[in-house]
Chains A and B, each alone.
Chain A
């Protein structure tokens, strides 16, 4: 009996993070492969993988509030912006024209999550009263309002069109720029940042999984499925919607802080409406309401344009063509994927993966 993968003796066993051998094996294997990849790579693909890992954290944040708790949020970009500027103010190099304190990453990284979290808690009494489309429209208002503040608060953001430079990756006094040499292995700044974001990614992944499998997560799911019924069985709507916004904003802040510190700087108009929509697209393409979905979505979304670029270069298409340039093809594919996934695969990439997995699980008796 013990060899059966789906056989559990208790709920506790079933609710474990990795509830069978196969999952445990693939988790360890996946982490090892990732570490190996991030060490040997040192080119544009390393850059993209790091971006994708950082984006995943933000996508998980949106997934908690929209996918788990069912609260539509088009203002995720605004929370990411707040986190980014918290990090930039606290960590920015002293001596620049904008407000900066030059603190260590060990201080600014947690705080860049906590400040948006407080903001999320602050607006949650209002957002919990609204539902459906009204909530979505309200959050669009937040996007434009926060964007306006970003554009004009020059001492912090550097102002519209100018922006400001990012802080350095200095963790507990160790500057990532110096790199590490272990024996023959030379790890430069990019490898270190990639490994660091892998650590953060795994930590936040466990966080999301833990929310999904505990009381809080079950409360979120019940609110998503039917808020009135949830209230009837004793879920405190105000409280749990507030918690959902708080956790979501925390993830958003961490994502923004890492992402824009990595890319080197940020301009206020980055955090426009389209940026928030990008995250919604990532969650939808990946699969809303699942733990792995946003991970798939982020990697797909970040890596896809470059893959398309490689394909185009490989076949020599569009080289001289002035029909559409690469950025436009990227946007086109972005738009098409939103439509195609919503119509044909509402569960997203996760749904495809789920079916594939189940096919091989029962192989050769799958039908």
Chain B
């Protein structure tokens, strides 16, 4: 039982980090009707910026963390202004494919810079890294995971405040409800689009740091970690912010449970699930959810007029 709870907590922490990426997906989708496949690349790019400023430019780590996160947001804004603004009103799928193109561009330059050796981000988590943990009672907590959980919690709280209290948060909600009506009410929809991408970039960069911090290191394959948040978005519903968080938690817990219990399951049922089954398990859940509720657990059902 102790073991189960331990694994469960790790799953929650993992899910919390996924939720940062998932929130990026959802905010961009809600505000601009674009499914951004560039999100994983932005996460890796954020980690890359932080790594560059902290290790090569020699700036204080916490400062470079802030610069890196901010710069990634700016890149998100840039993508929206240069590429996606041209595509307003085009079919959803064409726009999704164009973000794949952006993803390829970003990662080409990033991979060239990263090189073949894994890079440390120069954070203070390195000294104890993934091995560094503290215990409360029988349970172990890893510093980085707990930091991820904490940051995710704070960010979600801030976003909630942003949507409830700030003018632009409200404008964004209105835009996601109906772009043309929002425009008619005097909302600067273009600015809202940019803001959505900016926030998406910020969130991706924060997630990118937690994924690659400590002993996890930044490699050419780091972006895959962020791509795993995709089933979370589908499970929760593409246009639901609480859905993104809950979907991510489901994915995180599934992944860590599947990872730890795979051997027992295999032995019990006498089957071979294969290496890396834990990363596929979320997709299996996604299949079932899509079959039962195609709009996701919390998504709004699409009403089609004929």
Interface residues of A (CB under 8 A from B): 72, 126, 129-130, 132-134, 136-138, 140-141, 144-145, 148-149, 151-153, 160, 228-229, 232, 273, 277, 280-281, 284, 324, 328, 331-332, 334-339, 342-343, 346
Contact = CB atoms under 8 A, between A and B. Distances in A.
A331 B41 CA distance: 14
* Category for how many chain B residues contact A: 35 or more
B230 A335 contact: no
B182 interface: no
B108 interface: yes
A152 B108 contact: no
Interface in B119-153: none
A335 B286 contact: no
Contacts of B276: 148, 151
Contact of A130 (B92, B112, B280, B294): B294
Contacts of A149: 274
A338 B280 contact: no
Contact of A332 (B105, B231, B234, B306): B105
Contact of B93 (A132, A140, A228, A232): A132
A335 B93 contact: no
Interface stretch (B62-70, B96-104, B190-198, B202-210): B96-104
Nearest to B86: A343
A342 B83 CA distance: 10
Contact of B238 (A133, A140, A343): A133
B291 A280 contact: no
Nearest to B103: A335
A152 B112 contact: no
Given A144-B280, A145-B280, A339-B83, A334 B104 contact: yes
B283 interface: yes
Contacts of B105: 332, 335-336, 339
Interface in B51-101: 83, 86-87, 90, 92-94, 96-98, 100-101
A118 to B, nearest CB: 19
A133 B274 contact: no
10 contacts: A130-B290, A145-B283, A148-B276, A151-B276, A232-B306, A280-B97, A331-B108, A335-B108, A339-B105, A343-B98
B303 interface: no
A345 to B, nearest CB: 12
Given A145-B283, A332-B108, A339 B93 contact: no
A133 B294 CA distance: 10
Contacts of A332: 104-105, 108
**5 A-B pairs closest in CB distance:** A152-B274, A338-B101, A335-B104, A335-B105, A141-B283
B238 to A, nearest CB: 7
B4 interface: no
A343 B86 CA distance: 7
Nearest to B105: A335
Contacts of A136: 35, 93, 96
B102 A148 contact: no
Q: What's the dominant secondary structure at chain A's contact region? A: helix
A40 B100 CA distance: 39
B282 to A, nearest CB: 9
B5 interface: no
A321 B280 CA distance: 41
A149 to B, nearest CB: 7
Contacts of A273: 227
Given A134-B290, A138-B290, A145-B283, A342 B277 contact: no
Given A148-B274, A151-B276, A335 B102 contact: yes
A309 B283 CA distance: 39
B272 interface: yes
Contacts of A151: 274-276
A331 B86 CA distance: 23
A267 to B, nearest CB: 15
A334 B101 CA distance: 8
A281 B102 CA distance: 13
Nearest to A160: B275
Contact of B92 (A132, A284, A339, A342): A132
A141 B275 CA distance: 17
Contacts of A130: 290, 294
Listed residue (A133, A153, A160) with the most chain B CB atoms within 10 angstroms of its CB? A133
Contact of A338 (B97, B108, B272, B306): B97
Contacts of A72: 93
A148 B146 CA distance: 30
Interface in B24-39: 35
A334 B100 CA distance: 11
A343 B286 contact: no
Given A72-B93, A336-B105, A324 B112 contact: yes
A79 B83 CA distance: 31
Contacts of A343: 83, 86-87, 98
A141 B108 CA distance: 24
A177 B97 CA distance: 41
Interface string B189-232: 00000000000000000000000000000000000000100110
